[in-house]
Amino acid sequence: MKPGIHPEYHEVEVRCACGATWTTHSTKPELHLEICSQCHPFFTGKQKLIDTEGRVERFTKKYGSVSVASRKQQEAERRKKTAAAAR
């Protein structure tokens, strides 16, 4: 390794928003995380929905509980009405 070109390597305590802490090494003097392996849904098996700016409510309000099957049914009904009106 060349001297003088590498950053300082610190032993730091990592802190997660869920309260978990552990010690590791990093070039940064402090590490603060929003999500870690103790609170991430992939590792815990629990689904947490982090809704920022009301995105879920806005999506639900815009699209409601429309599923693919109900959209196909609505489209088929619309086509039947259009075909009946054309006769």
pLDDT band at 62 (very low <50, low <70, confident <90, very high): confident
Q: Distance between CA 49 and CA 56 in Å, rounded?
A: 9
Q: Which residue has the tokens 């196909």?
A: 72
Indicate if the pLDDT at residue 3 is higher than 70.
yes
Model pTM? 0.43
Architecture of the structural domain at 1-50:
Irregular (4.10)
Where are the chain's structural domains? Answer: 1-50, 51-87
Query: Is-contact 41 48, C-beta < 8 A?
Result: yes
Encode pLDDT of 8-30 as tens digits: 888 999 999 888 899 999 999 88
Q: What is the largest distance, in Å, between two alpha-carbon atoms of the chain? A: 87
Rounded Cα gap, residues 62 and 56, in angstroms? 10
